[in-house]
Structure 1
Amino acid sequence: MSMNFMRKLPIPQEIKEEYPLSAECEILKNKCDEEIAQIFRGESDKIIMIIGPCSADREDAVMEYIYRLARVQEQIKDKIFIIPRIYTNKPRTNGMGYKGMVHQPDPTKAEDMLEGLVSIRKLHRRAIEDTGFVCADEMLYPENYRYLSDLLSYVAVGARSVENQQHRLTVSGMDIPAGMKNPTSGDLSVMFNSIYAAQSSHTFLYRGWEVRTDGNPLAHAILRGFVNKHGESLPNYHYEDLLLTYRLYTEKGLVNPSVIIDTNHANSGKQYLEQPRILSEVMHCCRHNTDIRRMIKGFMVESYLEDGSQGISDGVFGKSITDPCLGWEKTEDMLLRTADIL
């Protein structure tokens, strides 16, 4: 038999009951969720910064990074709303390599999905309890979303998942912002069809249930660049790209037209040190055009304690074991500079 059923895992409700969110943190999260929604609805001029490691790999390093973010957030809270990236699932281009904490809570050990589900819930819960931050994760596996649904305040659907029906329909049942990335091909019509589906009501099969969703008016676009037929990375954050995105939003008639700019991936050609420059260029476009400024809600930045990336066995604390990230000193400078020009 090519698929071996190893063990039945606890359902999300069982994990939630074993590792619950406190009533105080639930109140805090609801307050933060409303502030984030106000930004996406255009009721607040704050910029959202979804920032953190390419992939969360170990709790102690991720929490040290978030503690530092919390200190900066206090300085810039009137202008920038930080949502830490705690990305616990890692999509792999060819299916191989480290797939995130949900697979391997310890990257040096074998896969353990039960321990992984527990570890990612505890990490997201600890971020709220220790720092007051509500966090973001990527929805690589739609069926896993419910394990974190009471903890997450932002969800991203990746470039390789955005065409998938189950991802789109699952987002339609969320009440938090969900960013739909443009596909790796760069075809914006795919992204806009995904947003349309996510903002609409659906009936479908989910985790063994027939469910009906109301549609998610906070589903929106993430521009992350694309790869052409020659395998070359090309950006889609320039002024003309933003004008085109605004026009397509207008033609589609979607509610709450919103864009998050992913400053890494194909937009930077994975040249992670370019991220502050890309952010600065988009902010210049916002100052030049009021339509673009209303549409741009924030940025997605890959950042960790140390510059660059490393192998799993190298052991440098707070250095990415997947895509290279911007180090802390450059990150702090970027955040403070951005706040100064808002």
Structure 2
Amino acid sequence: MSDNRVEDLNIESIKALITPDQLKAEMPISEAAVASVQSGRQVIRDILDRKDHRIFIVIGPCSIHDVDAAMDYARRLKELSAKVEDTLYLVMRVYFEKPRTTTGWKGLINDPYMNDTFKIEDGLHIARKLLIDLAEMGLPLSTEALDPISPQYLQDLIAWSAIGARTTESQTHREMASGLSSAVGFKNGTDGSLTVAINALMSVASPHRFLGIDQSGAVAVVSTRGNPYGHIVLRGGDGKPNYDSVNVALTEEALAKSKLSANIMIDCSHANSNKNPALQPLVMDNAANQILEGNKSIVGLMVESNIKHGRQNIPANLCDLEYGLSVTDGCISWEETEEAVMSMYNKLKDVLPKRNA
């Protein structure tokens, strides 16, 4: 029995939430979606194992705030995927949670109506419905695993997961990632250091036991097998990029020293583009050129892309939101996206089949 003289003194309220089982019973994954998720995960595993010569590109909006715009973007991405699928494997970013240094919009799950009402149960329904619709289109999907509980609601639809720079050092997130069903990328620290990501990769491959919830929502001890498909994501830090060939070589050395696979993903945004979305295609081009020059460790890219270029603040009147424009980090437009992806495709289509020979 709680004693309110000493407990929960700063808690305003605690409200029961729908359980993962209940949400999945209301919104079950279809056979088409299951096939899409299984295929996406296997392709990414094969790329990391060098059984598939392609590069995978996690690409899409910085965050999802408009379901209609997300579906619009997905249809365009699906069409582009078909043009480059023998060389580039496109995975759509479907990010619902955003980390905050201080305060700000925390993403569609936490605040789906963007008005500080925090209707989290609505957010979970909206997010799951969108993931199902996208998976049924045949698109592999990615997200950031930020909250340690939300994967129980959504991970069955995810082909690739990210652990962000702010949480790579977190023991909670390393333990959680060791049980994720998808491959997972750990970003280097916000200061640009590799150490936290290297340590995370060693941790995530090992079994862990920690407190979590089961599918019925009960608090449980979760025991994991360890995730063998963790890899590093270079995103720069402290205003300095780290996608160049020198930093990639240093990363290869650090991975080898720790007896980790030389699987490197380049995040074309964040410090690697100095937070200027217009520079992202240049980072993509640099990565392609490194591969042309013989690099064998770059296996993936991450690109923040939307229908329109740039970003917008969330207006007081949500009717004033501009369609297809990010409300978090700035993104390249669809036209820039198509041009950059096709440019990379044309550079690598004859090279990648011979790369792992």
Normalised TM-score (structure 1)? 0.94
Query: 8 Å contact 1:58–1:106 — kept in the other structure?
Result: no
* Structure 1 residue 117 displacement after superposition: 1.0
Deviation readout 1:278-328 (Å, 9 max, x if unpaired): 111122112223xx32x2111100000000011222411000011111001
Return the match for 1:114 from 98, 114, 121. Answer: 121
AA of the residue aligned to 1:111? F
Query: 8 Å contact 1:47–1:298 — kept in the other structure?
Result: yes
SS of the counterpart of 1:43?
Answer: coil
CA distance in 2: counterparts of 1:147 and 1:83, whole angstroms? 20
Alignment correspondent of 1:136: 142
Query: 8 Å contact 1:108–1:312 — kept in the other structure?
Result: no
* Structure 1 residue 24 displacement after superposition: 2.8
Instruction: Report sequence identity in percent.
Output: 34
Return the match for 2:37 from 21, 29, 40. Answer: 29
Indicate yes or no: 2:293 matched with 1:288. yes
Return the match for 2:184 from 171, 178, 187. Answer: 178
CA distance in 1: counterparts of 2:116 and 2:155, whole angstroms? 27
Deviation readout 1:133-189 (Å, 9 max, x if unpaired): 020010111111111121011110000001111100111112311000011012211
Cα pair distance change 1:108/1:64, threshold 3 Å: farther
AA of the residue aligned to 2:341? L
Query: 8 Å contact 2:175–2:208 — kept in the other structure?
Result: yes
Indicate yes or no: 2:158 matched with 1:152. yes
Return the match for 1:220 from 219, 228, 231. Answer: 231
CA distance in 2: counterparts of 1:262 and 1:64, whole angstroms? 24
Alignment correspondent of 2:322: 316
AA of the residue aligned to 1:267? N
* Structure 1 residue 7 displacement after superposition: 1.2
Alignment correspondent of 2:130: 123
Indicate yes or no: 2:71 matched with 1:63. yes
Query: 8 Å contact 1:262–1:301 — kept in the other structure?
Result: yes
CA distance in 2: counterparts of 1:142 and 1:258, whole angstroms? 25
Alignment correspondent of 1:266: 271
Across the aligned residues of Structure 1 and Structure 2, the Cα RMSD in angstroms comes to 1.2
CA distance in 2: counterparts of 1:209 and 1:108, whole angstroms? 33
* Structure 1 residue 12 displacement after superposition: 1.2
**Please, which runs of 5 or more residues in structure 1 have no aligned partner?**
228-232
CA distance in 2: counterparts of 1:152 and 1:244, whole angstroms? 31
Return the match for 2:343 from 326, 337, 341. Answer: 337
CA distance in 1: counterparts of 2:116 and 2:189, whole angstroms? 32
* Structure 1 residue 31 displacement after superposition: 2.1
Query: 8 Å contact 1:163–1:190 — kept in the other structure?
Result: yes
* Structure 1 residue 109 displacement after superposition: 6.2
Deviation readout 1:47-99 (Å, 9 max, x if unpaired): 101001111111001110111000111111111111100000011222x1111
Return the match for 1:44 from 49, 52, 58. Answer: 52
Alignment correspondent of 1:325: 331
Indicate yes or no: 2:198 matched with 1:211. no
Return the match for 2:246 from 221, 240, 250. Answer: 240
Alignment correspondent of 2:281: 276
Return the match for 2:171 from 153, 165, 168. Answer: 165
Normalised TM-score (structure 2)? 0.90
Deviation readout 1:323-342 (Å, 9 max, x if unpaired): 11100100011111111111
CA distance in 2: counterparts of 1:185 and 1:128, whole angstroms? 35
Indicate yes or no: 2:82 matched with 1:74. yes
Query: 8 Å contact 1:58–1:105 — kept in the other structure?
Result: no
Q: Which has the larger radius of gyration?
A: 2
- How many residues are matched? 331
CA distance in 2: counterparts of 1:143 and 1:151, whole angstroms? 15
Alignment correspondent of 2:352: none
* Structure 1 residue 27 displacement after superposition: 2.2
CA distance in 2: counterparts of 1:210 and 1:27, whole angstroms? 30
* Structure 1 residue 108 displacement after superposition: 4.5
Query: 8 Å contact 2:206–2:227 — kept in the other structure?
Result: yes
* Structure 1 residue 25 displacement after superposition: 2.0
Of 42-51 and 279-288, the range deviating more from structure 2 = 279-288
